[in-house]
Chains A and B, each alone.
Chain A
Amino acid sequence: MRNVLLVIKHEVQRTVGKPSFWIASFLFPMIIFALTFGSQLMARGMADGDSEKDFLDQVMGATAPGEAKPQGYVDLAGVVTTMPEGLPEGLLVAYPDEAAAQEAMDAGEIEQYYMLAKDFLKTGEVVLVQQRFSPFEQLDGGNVFEYVVTHNLTGDRDAAALLQNPMPSVVLERLAPAEDDEAGAGRPAGQSLAPMAMLFIFFFVLTMSSGYVLTSVTKEKENRIVEVLLSSLDPRQLMLGKIIGLSAVALLQMAIWLGVSLLVLREGSPLVGMVSTLVALTLPPGFLAWAVLYFVLGYLMFASALGAIGALAPTAREGSQFTFVTMLPLMIPMWFNTAFIEAPNGALVTFLSIFPLTAPVSMVARMVAVDVPLWQSLLSLGLVAATSYALVMLSARFFRADTLLSGAPISLQRLREALRRHSNV
């Protein structure tokens, strides 16, 4: 146990003592935040400038009229009798029956069509038929046809617009005594920024901290000090010390990132509203505990995998070639980051937040976006814990004297041999 503590202390001192750690801890998040929040601010500024635009333009989104794909509809209820003013011609095409609409879609003339049932006015039943399933599509979200139907039902353009978006310019006003100056300035935009911020923070801290383990192991091999260490301690003690020590470094880095984020947002006046929203409005109760659990387990999962690669790789350079493949699951939520804002309870995000390799990043991002059902959080955490345990046990097979002292390159044969072994060398 004493040796493990010594390795922990050594790893913490060695990593924290490097200027690169502090540069990564302070400079990198600043750049990321500047890029992320800067673009969000610009986008919001543009959106604010468009507040006076016609509602029809808003429901059509940013698509230029010429680029909008035609949609079809089959109105068996006879609701759609007029089109709102300004609706581009040909954007909505009426078909007498489903067969005709289907034929048009098959021919590529329309992207999708709606079916208003005969008893629509009683049941409200509408069927949307699309060529392909899109998990990012908000099925209950606003669209042109919905606006057209509302317009026909109300017979009034303004009323239709209000029904589509009853609170177009809500301003949150804190009635309880404010704890600080910024508290009252919260805005709904933070709802979308928070998941994005969580994705970025968890992705980068998990990637960097797991990478520390790989670097630490391969550097000891490259420096050829590993044999001296193995004459004093067991390979498993070395692995345990590294993983625990560098998890402390990772938590420190996470604390710095969150702290810097809050500090930067407090100091930068245009961002003050976001931080209060992010902290006060979007974080669910107990979020911090969930976040720490997911972070620690996620770190264990990826750090042990990279540690195993470090044990097999003869040099840091060769080891880093396998980093991308190992860290790929963490990147997947980043690629689909818009889904976390647009459809946080959609099929894709739900899957990503439960699948153990993507859950550490995805679930925390989802938690700040929506209320996640408790059973999903528990199931996900259980799967992450089980996977972490399995990966730590698997990685321990690679942390052996003959693997650590070998200069042979990584190969499938070596992987197979390492996986077959159970006992010490």
Chain B
Amino acid sequence: MNATVSVSHLTKSFGRFLAVKDVSFDVYPGEIFGLLGPNGAGKTTSIRMMLDIFKPDAGSVTIFGGEMTEAKKNRIGYLPEERGLYQDLKLEPTLVYLATLKGMDESEARRRIADWLKRLDLYEHRAKKVQELSRGMHQKVQIVSTLVHDPDLIVIDEPFAGLDPVNTRLIKDIFEEQREAGKAIVMSTHQMFQVEALCNRIVLIDKGVAVLYGEVGEIKRQFAGNAVTLEGQGDFEHLPGVLEVRRDNGAWHLALETGVSAQDVLRALARRDDVKIKRFEVAEPSLDDIFISVVSEGRPAEEEARGA
């Protein structure tokens, strides 16, 4: 299957700051692809280069089988992280303007906008000014503007921000539908449980470099053993080789440093008299654990370098 987007060895600097270094990934039709990373990692810059908003210093982007053109821009729906709408304009004309900029005929745009607004319970607000809408409504309006022109590539950055659980479910269903319809979706978010629920594959960027790339299941298997779940009494913090300790429904969840095994932790616990263990098992790591584990690995060296 041909990739909808193929990002190859992208590099971009702003002055002396290296924002993205040698990042590569492919996104295929019919998948939701997770673009992950901590704040300032280079995700947004990578998206902007992918969409031809920024030009890369090195590397290339192949989109729909070639270079970006005006016509190809009309096949892309983009919901940026830094987003907004004309506050002093009414909802419907705003959406019509954005839809026509995506190549749509005005009458067709009006018809499709009406359908989307009805589906997202916004139709009765169509004549209101954007500034009169709630934050959640803003978010839904922007999702409408991202999807109204029926794009083949959908790029969404934090799509669930500001949504209540009911609307989150509604939007998730919409993205699932789009995937089933064969659209390629690139999703950037910090909500790892959403990534686990929706994404087929991910790339994790840290400090401008792609540090993880592949299928979610395969990545989780690679990191299995790097976390343990235990139940008991006592203080389970400050154990050697443990990156992070989290309590979850009465159980302790310990994310381990790379190279530290569950046996090492068990041995350390067995030597202590102040703890009682009821349950100890190797946990399948969550993406959250993997994210923290991978991102934290580089931190001590970085902090040391800063201190020097």
Contact = CB atoms under 8 A, between A and B. Distances in A.
Nearest to A230: B53
B145 A231 contact: no
A6 B14 contact: no
Nearest to A223: B84
A224 B84 contact: yes
A228 interface: yes
Nearest to A235: B53
A362 to B, nearest CB: 36
Contact of A225 (B73, B86, B103): B86
Nearest to A404: B53
Contacts of B89: 14
A18 interface: yes
Chain A interface size, under 10 / 10 to 19 / 20 to 34 / 35 or more: 20 to 34
Interface in A167-220: 219-220
A232 B86 contact: no
Contacts of B55: 423-425
Nearest to B76: A231
A70 to B, nearest CB: 64
Given A229-B101, A230-B53, A405 B82 contact: yes
Contact of B85 (A225, A232, A401): A225
Contact of A227 (B70, B76, B82): B82
Report which residue of B73, B82, B100, B101 has the largest number of chain A beta carbons within 10 angstroms of its beta carbon.
Answer: B101
Nearest to B155: A231
A228 B74 CA distance: 12
B83 A228 contact: yes
A220 B85 CA distance: 8
A425 B54 contact: yes
Contact of B145 (A227, A228, A230, A401): A228
B48 A6 contact: no
Contact of A6 (B51, B85, B97, B145): B97
Contacts of B84: 222-225
A75 B101 CA distance: 81
A55 to B, nearest CB: 62
B196 to A, nearest CB: 28
Contacts of B86: 14, 219-220, 223, 225
B46 to A, nearest CB: 14
Nearest to B97: A10
Contact of B80 (A220, A228, A233): A228
A3 interface: yes
Chain B binding site: helix, strand, loop or mixed by DSSP? loop
Contacts of B28: none
A3 B101 contact: yes
Interface string B33-66: 0000000000000001001011100000000000
Contacts of B145: 228
Nearest to A401: B53
Nearest to B88: A18
B221 to A, nearest CB: 36
Given A232-B102, A401-B54, A224 B14 contact: no
A423 B80 CA distance: 24
Contact of B73 (A13, A223, A231): A231
A402 interface: yes
B54 A224 contact: no
Contacts, number: 64
Nearest to B14: A402
Interface in B63-100: 70, 73-74, 76, 78, 80, 82-89, 93, 97-98, 100
Interface in A228-266: 228-233
A89 B84 CA distance: 77
Interface in A94-148: none
A350 B100 CA distance: 49
Nearest to A407: B82
Contacts of A424: 55
A424 to B, nearest CB: 6
A227 B80 contact: yes
Interface in A375-425: 401-402, 405, 423-425
Contacts of A14: 86, 89
A232 B101 contact: yes
Interface in B109-149: 142, 145
A227 B83 contact: yes
Contacts of A224: 82-84
A423 B55 CA distance: 10
Nearest to B142: A228
Nearest to A10: B97
Contacts of A10: 97
A230 B100 CA distance: 14
A10 B96 CA distance: 10
Contacts of A222: 84
A13 B55 CA distance: 32
Interface in A1-54: 2-3, 6, 10, 13-14, 18
Nearest to B81: A227
Interface in B11-34: 14
A223 B102 CA distance: 20
B101 A6 contact: yes
Contacts of A233: 73, 101
A223 B80 contact: no
The 9 closest A-B CB pairs, nearest first, are: A224-B84, A232-B101, A231-B78, A223-B84, A227-B80, A401-B53, A224-B82, A230-B53, A225-B84
19 contacts: A3-B101, A6-B101, A14-B86, A219-B86, A223-B86, A224-B83, A227-B78, A227-B82, A228-B98, A228-B145, A229-B101, A231-B73, A232-B101, A401-B48, A401-B53, A402-B14, A402-B54, A424-B55, A425-B53
Interface of B: 14, 48, 51, 53-55, 70, 73-74, 76, 78, 80, 82-89, 93, 97-98, 100-103, 142, 145
Interface of A: 2-3, 6, 10, 13-14, 18, 219-220, 222-225, 227-233, 401-402, 405, 423-425
Given A224-B82, A225-B84, A228-B78, 9 more contacts: A3-B70, A220-B86, A223-B84, A223-B85, A223-B87, A227-B53, A228-B145, A233-B73, A425-B53
